[in-house]
Amino acid sequence: MTPITHIETPFNEKFGVPRQPLLVMEAWGKMRFPKNDFYVEAFREIEASTHLWLIFEFHQIPNFGFNGLVRPPRFEGKKKLGVYATRSPHRPNRIGLSVVRFDRLEILANEIVLWVKGVDLVNGTPVFDIKPYVPYTDRILDAVSENFDEAPKNLNVTWKCHPELSREERELFEKVVALDPRPGHDKDLQGEYGVSLAGWNIRFRFIDEGFEIFEVTKA
């Protein structure tokens, strides 16, 4: 398969990317397409859907050496699950599926730009297809997944520095850190962490059941 585009997002590295879509609505996605007859027609009435499915590739994962058991990052300790019982990117075919919120479609002079919100994708991720989210069939009210029924908790975030940020940047940084990007085996550590977001380097540490952001510098 050939990607139709590569999505631009605030996440330049895997660390810090939300582990599911729609957890951080401030996490924007931007997809560019050539302005030709196909794409002008292909996006007709896409604004009729509030949400879209993106089919993409986990392009930063090596395409070899997979195991049947994986350790999802949200689980502490050494708990493992079968790869097909998880959404782990470490799978025989590196295909991912993510639902995002449609934001807007821009028809510019030389290109078409599709904006979405709530992404959980690394910047530069190849996108193979876009499909509308269909509520009457995609939303299953009695669905259960016992290992993943509880939504992640948002921890408290405080600021120990005062960088000049826009409101959108500040909210993005807070919500990404609040979701606790640390892997499960690091949950008991009190060390410092760093993440690159939207052109900034953010340094934070775990203190008293929450996080404090103590340094923000331009990347």
User: Domains of the chain, with CATH numbers?
Assistant: 5-138 (2.40.30.70), 153-218 (no CATH)
The answer to whether the CB of 97 falls within 8 A of the CB of 55 is yes
| Radius of gyration of the chain measured on its C-alpha atoms | 18
Q: pTM of the entire structure?
A: 0.92
- The distance between the two most distant Cα atoms of the chain, rounded to a whole number of Å, is 56
| Per-residue buried b or exposed e for 37-50, using 16+ beta carbons within 10 Å of the residue's own CB | eebeeeeeeeeebe
206's enclosing H/E stretch is strand 200-207
51 strand-pairing partners: 101
Question: 48-80: per-residue pLDDT in tens?
Answer: 999 999 999 999 998 888 899 988 776 666 688
Q: Please give the Cα distance from 158 to 121 (Å, whole number).
A: 26
Q: Mean pLDDT throughout 106-134?
A: 98
